[in-house]
């Protein structure tokens, strides 16, 4: 999901390599959502601000929650394997408030220092003033969502005072902490607050103020990214493209921001301007030049909608890729409790990897998505399984293999 708007996620995200991957977004993931049996349940990127509560993250293969590049996740009273959240942080923030066993209550909270054996790179503690304002924001957003669900519409004036209080709280935090990654998250969330009020003019004035503030020069690129969505809302696609081009020119070193802006351009060309050639160019740019960004799969999906095969343009490694052969292996094997399944794709293909027990019953689906030609790996965790023989099956295009793996405890 690449979006600069607020969302409320309802329904199920199960049996994916990544259940949900927001960029520049904020939103609630409601209690009745099912986030079971994913590789990683939630991977939040690029100053996203995510609030899962009472969600079931049971059966995650890799991590329950991961936060990258200033993203913030506040997980309240969620359910995890053995009652312990499995976290990954690379320049992001995760707060755990109440961690429950998938069937039984474990405890009130998991403190930062209690986390063990996790790959954690955090940008530091979350300031209390950010946390308090953020909780107000999400509680208010829940009320608005419930009002919309009950009445089919909302009266923005009913919530304007509370939203303005939240917006001012985020403004104060940005002003006092201009160099914090969380101030970027505050900026994104404040913009979403304006959108929930349907106050797009107020949102634009706020972003203009941020971009012109010399003290907040490092926020200008992000503010301009959010302005693109203002102009899209106004159906002013000329200015939207112009702002996107300015942002690309001025932020050459921020690869994550650039990738999202290029995607925004592609979406405008494809869905608003019917400029297929420009759309294909933008989506191909992402695939060719931002190969390690999670938005690559989004770009490939858009190319498929345009009936264009997502291929990399000729590069130095093109000859190597053209010589790839289909193969798969796992290491270690036997394993306890995790093993990594490696596989090589000679062509772009829809990949399906499943694990079965010795009776042929499906244990878990590890991968079910389109991938480009290349080498990949996915972890299989047998922590919740008994010792014995298992099989993993991989299907990609016309290729298929099944191999035995042995879990020893």
pLDDT tens profile 329-365: 888 888 888 888 989 888 888 899 999 988 778 899 9
Please tell me the least confidently modeled range out of 148-152, 225-229, 269-273, 347-351: 148-152
Nearest to 14 by CA among 371, 393, 295, 364: 364
User: pTM for the complete prediction?
Assistant: 0.66
Structural domain includes residue 281: no
Structural domain includes residue 34: yes
Structural domain includes residue 163: no
Residue 245, CA distances (Å) to 25, 148, 169, 248, 261 in order: 21, 36, 31, 5, 8
- Considering 99-103, 192-196, 236-240, the range whose residues carry the highest mean pLDDT is 236-240
What's the pLDDT at 7?
66
Which helix (H) or strand (E) covers residue 263, if one does? helix 255-271
Structural domain includes residue 198: no
What's the pLDDT at 20?
81
Residue 60, C-beta contacts closer than 8 angstroms, at least 6 positions apart: 37, 38, 39, 40, 41, 80, 81, 86
What's the pLDDT at 408?
82
**Residue 314 predicted with pLDDT over 50:** no
The Cα 192–Cα 25 span in angstroms is: 8
Q: Mean pLDDT for the chain?
A: 82
**Residue 195 predicted with pLDDT over 70:** yes
Choose one of 66, 98, 122: the last residue of a domain: 122
- pLDDT 10s digits, 215-231: 999 999 999 999 998 99
Residue 229, CA distances (Å) to 23, 313, 373 in order: 14, 30, 33
What's the pLDDT at 33?
56
Percent of the chain surpassing pLDDT 90: 30
Nearest to 259 by CA among 269, 275, 248: 248
pLDDT band at 319 (very low <50, low <70, confident <90, very high): very low
- pLDDT 10s digits, 91-139: 788 888 888 888 644 443 333 333 333 433 344 578 889 999 999 998 8
Calculate mean pLDDT across residues 193-204.
89
Choose one of 57, 91, 122: the last residue of a domain: 122
Please give the tally of structural domains in the chain.
2
Phi, then psi, of 334 in degrees rounded to 5: -65, 160
pLDDT top residue among 1 and 84: 84
What's the pLDDT at 17?
74
Inter-axis angle of helices 156-176 and 128-151, nearest 10? 160
Structural domain includes residue 328: yes
The Cα 139–Cα 338 span in angstroms is: 38
Nearest to 129 by CA among 91, 92, 180, 85: 180
Structural domain includes residue 403: yes
Residue 167, CA distances (Å) to 25, 109, 183 in order: 16, 28, 12
What's the pLDDT at 242?
94
Structural domain includes residue 44: yes
What's the pLDDT at 231?
93
Residues 26/6, Cβ–Cβ less than 8 Å: yes
pLDDT band at 185 (very low <50, low <70, confident <90, very high): very high
Number of helical H runs and strand E runs in the chain: 10, 17
The SS3 assignment for 49 reads: strand
What's the pLDDT at 142?
81
**Residue 2 predicted with pLDDT over 50:** no
What is the token pair recorded at 247? 């942002």
What's the pLDDT at 63?
86
What's the pLDDT at 317?
43
Inter-axis angle of helices 255-271 and 237-250, nearest 10? 160
With 0-12 CB in 10 A as exposed, 13-18 as middle and 19+ as buried, what is 375? exposed
Choose one of 122, 157, 184: the last residue of a domain: 122
Cβ neighbours of 38 (radius 10 Å): 26
Residues 46/260, Cβ–Cβ less than 8 Å: yes
Q: Which domain holds residue 25?
A: 6-122
pLDDT band at 173 (very low <50, low <70, confident <90, very high): very high
Structural domain includes residue 378: yes
Report the DSSP beta bridge partners of residue 278. none
Cβ neighbours of 107 (radius 10 Å): 12
What's the pLDDT at 117?
34
**Residue 293 predicted with pLDDT over 60:** yes
What is the token pair recorded at 400? 């298929």
Calculate mean pLDDT across residues 70-95.
85
Q: What is the DSSP letter of 313?
A: P
What is the token pair recorded at 248? 């690309």
Phi, then psi, of 380 in degrees rounded to 5: -115, 125
What's the pLDDT at 76?
83
Q: What is the DSSP letter of 58?
A: T
**Residue 80 predicted with pLDDT over 80:** yes
């Amino acid at each position: 999901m690449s979006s600069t708007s607020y969302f409320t996620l309802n329904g199920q995200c199960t049996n994916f390599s990544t259940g949900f991957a927001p960029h520049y977004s904020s939103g609630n993931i409601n209690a009745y959502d099912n986030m079971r049996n994913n590789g990683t349940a939630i991977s939040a990127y690029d100053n996203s601000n995510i609030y899962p509560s009472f969600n079931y993250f049971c059966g995650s293969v890799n991590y329950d929650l991961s936060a990258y590049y200033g993203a913030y996740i506040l997980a309240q009273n969620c359910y995890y394997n053995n009652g312990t959240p499995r976290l990954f942080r690379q320049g992001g923030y995760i707060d755990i408030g109440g961690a429950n066993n998938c069937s039984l209550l474990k405890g009130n909270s998991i403190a930062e220092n209690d986390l063990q054996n996790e790959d954690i790179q955090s940008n530091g503690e979350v300031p209390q003033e950010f946390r308090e304002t953020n909780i107000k924001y999400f509680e208010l957003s829940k009320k608005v969502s419930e009002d919309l669900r009950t009445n089919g519409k909302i009266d923005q004036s009913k919530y304007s005072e509370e939203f303005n209080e939240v917006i001012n709280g985020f403004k104060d935090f940005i002003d006092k902490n201009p160099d914090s990654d969380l101030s970027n998250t505050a900026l994104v969330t404040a913009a979403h607050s304006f959108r929930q009020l349907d106050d797009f003019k107020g949102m634009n004035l706020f972003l203009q103020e941020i971009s012109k503030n010399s003290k907040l020069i490092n926020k200008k690129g992000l503010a301009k990214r959010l302005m693109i969505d203002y102009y899209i809302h106004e159906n002013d696609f000329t200015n939207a493209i112009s702002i996107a081009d300015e942002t690309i020119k001025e932020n050459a070193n921020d690869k994550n921001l650039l990738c999202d802006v290029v995607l925004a351009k592609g979406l405008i060309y494809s869905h608003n301007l019917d400029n297929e050639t420009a759309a294909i160019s933008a989506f191909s740019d992402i695939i060719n030049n931002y190969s390690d960004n999670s938005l690559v799969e989004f770009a490939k999906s858009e190319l498929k909608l345009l009936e264009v095969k997502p291929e990399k343009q000729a590069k130095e490694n093109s000859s190597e890729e053209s010589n790839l052969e289909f193969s798969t292996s796992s290491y270690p094997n036997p394993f306890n409790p995790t093993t990594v399944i490696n596989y090589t794709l000679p062509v772009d293909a829809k990949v399906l990897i499943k694990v079965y027990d010795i009776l042929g019953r499906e244990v878990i689906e590890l991968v079910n998505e389109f991938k480009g030609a290349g080498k990949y790996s996915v972890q299989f965790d047998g922590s919740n399984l008994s010792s014995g023989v298992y099989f993993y099956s991989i299907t990609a295009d016309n290729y298929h293999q099944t191999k035995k793996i042995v879990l020893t405890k």
